[in-house]
Amino acid sequence: MKQFIIVTGMSGAGKTMTLKVLEDFGFITIDNMPPELLPQLFRLISDRPEAADSRGVVATVDVRNVSNNFVEVIDKISDSLGGAVKDMKVIFLTASDEELLRRYERTRRVHPLSRGLSTGEGIRAERELLAPLLDRADIVIDTSMMDLHQHRERLLKEFFELDGGISILISSFGYKYGIPQDSSFVMDVRCLPNPYYVSELKDLTGMDKPVKDYLLQFPETHKFMELTKNFMDFAIPQFLNNVRGQLHIAVGCTGGRHRSVAMAEWLYSVYSKIYSGVCVDHRDKGHGHK
């Protein structure tokens, strides 16, 4: 079997959507299975002839089936599979408390931990319960600002565009829309001159050459890039060698359209030549402000 993927995380963050997307990509899917039963079920599926033609098995596990020792259970699952699977990953889906509240209000569903509690209290209790699992996850995806298309694109990049998946994700964002919750490092480039206030640059983005040229005419931009590269040259290999999972470098400016995009593109141009599995994503580039 090529891959065995466990999808878990916050209720309402998109586990069901992820399962459907991966099923479309050719995975055999299992929904809401107690983790202790996964090794036995995996062996049964592995014996099916059609399993050999699939990309692997993906199973969702939600908070109702998570015990306090779930991290230990996952490690036991990994040990029990032995050489039967080439690659096992845990995907943790999250979203901001505000976005989760909006989704529950929109769908009028009841949070699984909200008995006797408000929805907000249930969300906070779940986040605390799942904190050890978040630390154990190989891939963390923040779906706060994602629609279905963006969700599919992220999974496509993770599992199919790059051999071995994404090891380094470089993203741009706008502070007015929130910091990505799955970021490892956050770079604030609001200290750089703002192309938004130049009339001929306002409607462009940081991917356009005039915006890049504008930023590069300032000494402070070059100094910022020099200091950032010095730090990243040290930090990236330390992270990849010692920390489990994906490295997410998030670059933010006010609106996520000009400065953050340009600096994220620069980082990508530097480190995609050094490391395999580097991807760049511009979350807020289309919002059109600052």
**Domain annotation for the chain: domains and CATH numbers:** 3-147 (3.40.50.300), 168-287 (no CATH)
User: How would DSSP label each residue in 10-31?
Assistant: STTSSHHHHHHHHHHTT-EEE-
pLDDT at 47: 65
Does the pLDDT value for residue 150 go beyond 70?
Answer: yes
- Reported as a single tens digit per residue, the pLDDT across 52-85 is 446 778 888 876 666 556 677 777 777 766 666 6
Coil, helix or strand at residue 259? helix
Phi, psi of 7 (to 5 degrees): -105, 120
Which residues on neighbouring strands pair with residue 137, listed in sequence order?
none
What band does 163 get if pLDDT is binned at 50, 70 and 90?
A: very low
Cβ atoms of residues 4 and 88 within 8 Å: yes
- Reported as a single tens digit per residue, the pLDDT across 19-32 is 888 887 778 888 88
Region 140-169 average pLDDT = 75
User: Range with the lowest mean pLDDT among 22-36, 116-130, 226-240?
Assistant: 22-36
Q: What is the mean pLDDT of the chain?
A: 84
Which residues on neighbouring strands pair with residue 249, listed in sequence order?
170, 185
Region 120-139 average pLDDT = 87
**Any idea what DSSP says for residue 177?**
G
Higher-scoring residue by pLDDT: 203, 34: 203
**Any idea what DSSP says for residue 161?**
I
Q: What is the pTM of this model?
A: 0.62
Using the CB atoms, write b or e for 17-38: b if 16+ within 10 Å. bbbebbeebebbbbeebebeeb
Kindly report the number of other CB atoms within 10 A of residue 55's CB atom.
Answer: 16
Which residues on neighbouring strands pair with residue 169, listed in sequence order?
248, 279
- Reported as a single tens digit per residue, the pLDDT across 170-198 is 999 999 998 987 788 999 999 999 999 99
Higher-scoring residue by pLDDT: 119, 77: 119
pLDDT at 49: 54
**Any idea what DSSP says for residue 109?**
P
Does the pLDDT value for residue 106 go beyond 70?
Answer: yes
